[in-house]
């Protein structure tokens, strides 16, 4: 059953996708559904015996192009909640980065990471141009700690039929700031980070990666293009390569920090695709690794989940210095 229910108390949608309970859960490597099909005995999601990058519709989606028809309410509108139910329309895709099961994004050569960014651009364009898609959300969950059920290197794309709440909030803040200052809020943040310098991890001619002043997670890093742009698609070839280098270096620094593959959630925030003007918005990446020390997690608990306020036990300036000092070449 797929449906969107509206919570009138918190004014937000909740997606129900009960089929996902049965999704593939930590299969043995020989039965990985994201590997290419190497034998007739084990047919994976990908029929060919090799591939560069593959995108396919998720077998266990949260949203669907053809969602279930809703049974709206009971007779005489007796169902109090019937007003708050909607079809869970959208598209969920899986992006397989490489046929190599034991590899990771950061192990891939710059050229291959650049190719992945080009695929993300292509999906942003082609999903975003569909009438019923208002937002293309690209992300990667990495590591068992994050809840990943398939270890094969992959990411996901959720094409929403609505603008998700965190993006909506960012758009509102960005518009309010622009209306007041006639300047992009994100560019103002970048300028401040460049001026201060203490929270910067990586700086190139085209991109900057930093732990923001207001980071919620100890090692949360945002990557911004120095050039103002609202969408991944606006990157030119040189910027694509530059972004690939920054992503690779950042993850290498994460991995070297505690000498294990750092799990993370990586998200791309870009402008919506509902044909409205979001020129005031600035696309960026956000990384949320769950660790606060080598052997301690940052958990979301009472204050975060129940009150909506993150408590960060660390200072961004100190964590940025740690990441900066990591020697990734030794």
Partner 1 sequence: MKRDETGLIKNGMRKSNSIDSKVNEMSNKVRSKIFADKKCKNNPGLKKRVITKRDGRYLIYYDFKKSIVSEGTKCLS
- DSSP structure class, residue 33: T
Q: Which of 26, 101, 152, 154 is catalytic?
A: 154
CB of 166 to partner 1, least distance (A): 21
Work out the number of other CB atoms within 10 angstroms of the CB of residue 70.
15
Phi, psi (deg, nearest 5) at residue 159: -95, 110
Cβ closest to partner 1, residue 153 vs residue 298: 153
CB of 307 to partner 1, least distance (A): 35
Q: What is the 3-state secondary structure (H, E, C) of 170-233?
A: HHHHHHHHHHHHCCCHHHHHHHHHHHHCCCEEEECCCEEEECCCCCCCCCCEEEEECCCCCCHH
Cβ closest to partner 1, residue 223 vs residue 298: 223
Structure tokens at 166: 């965190």
Query: Whole-angstrom Cα distance, residue 165 to residue 155?
Result: 21
CB of 19 to partner 1, least distance (A): 13
- ∠ Cα 258 264 267 (to 5°): 145
Cβ closest to partner 1, residue 202 vs residue 215: 202
Asked about 154 being catalytic, the answer comes back as: yes
- Residue (of 119, 139, 121) closest to 233 by Cα position: 121
Cβ closest to partner 1, residue 52 vs residue 317: 52
Query: Whole-angstrom Cα distance, residue 211 to residue 168?
Result: 22
Work out the number of other CB atoms within 10 angstroms of the CB of residue 145.
14
Cβ closest to partner 1, residue 45 vs residue 140: 45
Q: Which helix (H) or strand (E) holds 325?
A: helix 316-325
CB of 77 to partner 1, least distance (A): 35
CB of 295 to partner 1, least distance (A): 25
Residues in the chain: 330
| Residues classed as catalytic | 154
């Amino acid at each position: 059953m797929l449906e969107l229910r509206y919570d009138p108390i918190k004014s937000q949608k909740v997606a129900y996708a009960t089929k996902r309970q049965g999704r593939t859960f930590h299969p043995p490597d020989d039965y990985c559904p994201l590997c290419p099909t190497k034998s007739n005995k084990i047919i994976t999601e990908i029929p060919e015996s090799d591939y560069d990058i593959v995108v396919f519709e998720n077998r266990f989606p949260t949203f669907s192009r053809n969602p279930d028809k809703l049974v709206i309410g009971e007779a005489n509108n007796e169902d109090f909640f019937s007003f708050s139910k909607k079809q869970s329309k959208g598209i969920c895709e899986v992006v397989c980065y490489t046929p190599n099961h034991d590899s990771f994004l950061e192990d891939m050569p710059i050229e291959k990471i650049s190719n992945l960014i080009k695929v993300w651009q292509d999906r942003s364009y082609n999903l975003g141009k569909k009438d019923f898609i208002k937002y293309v959300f690209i992300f990667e969950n990495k590591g068992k700690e994050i809840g990943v059920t398939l270890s094969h290197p992959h990411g996901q794309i959720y094409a929403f039929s609505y603008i998700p709440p965190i993006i909506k909030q960012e758009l509102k803040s960005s518009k309010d700031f622009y209306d007041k200052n006639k300047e992009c809020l994100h560019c103002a943040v970048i300028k401040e980070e460049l001026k201060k310098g203490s929270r910067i991890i990586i700086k190139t001619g085209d991109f900057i990666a930093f732990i923001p002043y207001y980071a919620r997670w100890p090692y949360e890093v945002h990557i911004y293009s120095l050039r103002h742009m609202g969408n991944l698609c606006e990157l030119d070839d040189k910027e694509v390569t530059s972004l690939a280098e920054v992503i690779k270096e950042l993850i290498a620094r994460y991995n070297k920090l505690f000498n294990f593959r750092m799990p993370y959630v990586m998200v791309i925030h870009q402008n919506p695709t509902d044909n409205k003007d979001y020129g005031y918005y600035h696309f960026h990446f956000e990384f949320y690794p769950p660790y606060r020390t080598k052997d301690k997690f940052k958990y979301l608990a009472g204050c975060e989940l129940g009150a909506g306020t993150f408590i960060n036990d660390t200072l961004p300036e100190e964590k940025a210095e740690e990441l900066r000092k990591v020697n990734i070449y030794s």
